């Protein structure tokens, strides 16, 4: 079995555009030894292709999870913070603790299993994080 030197988790949300309903986020750690051809932004993929790729991700990924923030949380926090909350929940739900998280090609370093901070830019931490 190959040892992974750096475990990188990709995370993104869906559902920020609609006027009603929860916002969802997915976190995935892909296995470099089990490539998935055709991965791209879901907004540019046909629905049928998204379904095929979703199955391949679930089969081949080292770990994956989906989480959500409720309508009540969106109302209380705002949609951006609720999206970040859903992302944090997804990251915390995966079975493997990543060393680094990538959000739209921007690196976010894992400080502890419950605290994420932006690398070098000094931007805000995800909601609920400490330190």
Q: What is the DSSP letter of 70?
A: -
Q: Two tokens at 73?
A: 């949380």
Q: Can you state the percent helix, strand and coil of the chain, rounding each to 5? A: 30, 25, 45
The sheet carrying 115-118 orders its strands as 63-69, 23-29, 8-14, 100-103, 106-112, 115-118
- Interatomic CA distance for residues 47 and 36, integer angstroms: 17
The pLDDT assigned to 16 comes to 80
**What is the residue-level pLDDT of the chain in tens, covering all 131 positions?**
455 567 889 999 988 876 789 999 999 999 999 999 998 888 899 999 999 999 999 999 999 999 999 999 999 999 999 999 999 999 999 988 888 888 865 666 554 444 444 444 334 344 444 33
Question: 39: which 2 tokens?
Answer: 């991965």
What is the reported pLDDT for 110?
55
pLDDT at position 114: 46
Q: Which domains does the chain have, with CATH numbers?
A: 8-118 (3.30.420.10)
């Amino acid at each position: 079995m190959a040892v992974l030197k750096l475990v990188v988790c990709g995370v993104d949300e869906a559902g920020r555009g609609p006027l009603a309903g929860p916002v969802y986020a997915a976190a995935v750690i892909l296995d470099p030894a089990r490539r998935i051809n055709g991965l791209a932004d879901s907004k540019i993929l046909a629905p049928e292709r998204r379904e095929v790729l979703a199955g391949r991700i679930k089969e081949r990924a080292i770990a994956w999870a989906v989480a959500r923030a409720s309508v009540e949380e969106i109302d209380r926090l705002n949609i951006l913070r609720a999206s970040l909350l859903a992302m944090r929940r997804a990251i915390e739900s995966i079975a493997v603790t990543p060393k680094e998280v990538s959000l739209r090609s921007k690196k976010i370093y894992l400080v502890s299993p419950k605290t994420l901070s932006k690398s070098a830019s000094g931007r805000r931490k995800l909601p609920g994080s400490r330190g």
